[in-house]
Amino acid sequence: MADPVFTMKGVTKVYDTGGAKVHALAGVDLELPGGELAVLLGPSGSGKSTLLNILGGLDHVTDGRVWFRDLELTAMRDRELTRYRRDHVGFIFQFYNLVPSLTARENVQLVTDVARDPMPAAEALELVGLGHRMDHFPAEMSGGEQQRVAIARAIAKRPGVLLCDEPTGALDSKTGIQVLEALHQINRDFGTATVVITHNADIQKIAHRVIYFQDGRISRIQENTTRLAPADISW
Ligand SMILES: Nc1ncnc2c1ncn2[C@@H]1O[C@H](COP(=O)(O)OP(=O)(O)OP(=O)(O)O)[C@@H](O)[C@H]1O
């Protein structure tokens, strides 16, 4: 197995909202190998987004330790976590968070302008199949195209990991599959470790491993001996 890109040991997360404590994560141990495409599945409220936000340095653990390669995230101050996110993490969310007044190329350039070793915005857009739409505005694009711009923006800084929270949640099957194809191709060609949260059980077929959550814990991990290409799934 490749060296882990993430290691989590005994991670708990308790939200304390005025008296009522919510145990969002109740003791998670996990290693994610470099180059892996992992899908996280589990019922609503089982802790998937909490885990992703902790891996992405967007949230702090209550207890336990987390490493990205040999960097311990749980030992970092907020400034260091900000730098970690900027240098290493590409985020993709259900809603694309593009700036409506900027073209696709300009949306990607927002990231390449501040990244350490970015690829040109045009190259990132070519990679997601949008080389011909670079000068279009988000309102001129379909949901799937906008999500692919968001993927181009996330990959343009050549991140070590791509963290995707319901990337196809707002899309129909056809455009959702185009988005998964872009993620699949980047994982395969660049070896970018990719974590995808989904409620869509069909998507698990494209993963190397499927990690099931239940009540803030990992209830099961399934290794896929055969994987399907995104074009071979439907929902
Ligand atoms: N900021 C917060 N404050 C209080 N409770 C929270 C907060 N964020 C998450 N929770 C709670 O933590 C638990 C885990 O939430 P989380 O969003 O990680 O689950 P999830 O598996 O991603 O769910 P979904 O599939 O619906 O997105 C839930 O009970 C949720 O209500």
Residue nearest to atom 31 of ligand 1 (CA): 45
User: Does the beta carbon of 42 lie inside 6 Å of ligand 1?
Assistant: yes
Total-model pTM:
0.93
Mutate to test the pocket of ligand 1, among 40, 50, 52, 215 (most ligand atoms within 8 A of CB): 50
Q: What is the pLDDT of residue 170?
A: 86
Domains, in order of start, for the chain: 36-53+89-232 (3.40.50.300)
Task: Report which ligand 1 atom has the smallest distance to the Cα of 47.
Answer: 18
**Contact criterion met (CB below 8 Å) for 191 and 35:** yes
In the chain, the amino acid numbered 229 is A
User: Does the beta carbon of 198 lie inside 6 Å of ligand 1?
Assistant: no
Q: What is the pLDDT of residue 114?
A: 85
Q: What is the pLDDT along the chain (235 residues), one digit of tens a residue?
A: 578 999 999 999 999 888 889 999 999 999 999 999 999 999 999 999 999 999 999 999 999 999 999 999 999 999 999 999 999 999 999 898 999 999 999 999 999 988 888 999 999 999 889 999 999 999 999 999 999 999 999 999 999 999 999 999 888 888 899 889 999 999 999 999 999 999 999 999 999 999 999 999 999 999 999 999 999 987 7
Residue nearest to atom 7 of ligand 1 (CA): 15
Q: Which residues contact 227 (CB under 8 A, 6 or more apart)?
A: 205, 206, 207, 208
User: Does the beta carbon of 57 lie inside 6 Å of ligand 1?
Assistant: no
Contacts 24+ apart (CB under 8 A), 11-14: 11/51, 11/54, 11/61, 11/63, 11/64, 11/65, 11/66, 12/61, 12/62, 12/63, 12/64, 12/216, 13/47, 13/50, 13/54, 13/59, 13/61, 13/62, 13/216, 14/62
Bridge pairing between strands 37-41 and 209-214:
parallel
Q: CA torsion 216→205→5→90, rounded to 10°? A: -90
Signed CA dihedral, 235, 95, 195, 65: sign only = negative
User: Does the beta carbon of 44 lie inside 6 Å of ligand 1?
Assistant: yes
Task: Report which ligand 1 atom has the smallest distance to the Cα of 50.
Answer: 18
Signed CA dihedral, 150, 170, 187, 89: sign only = positive
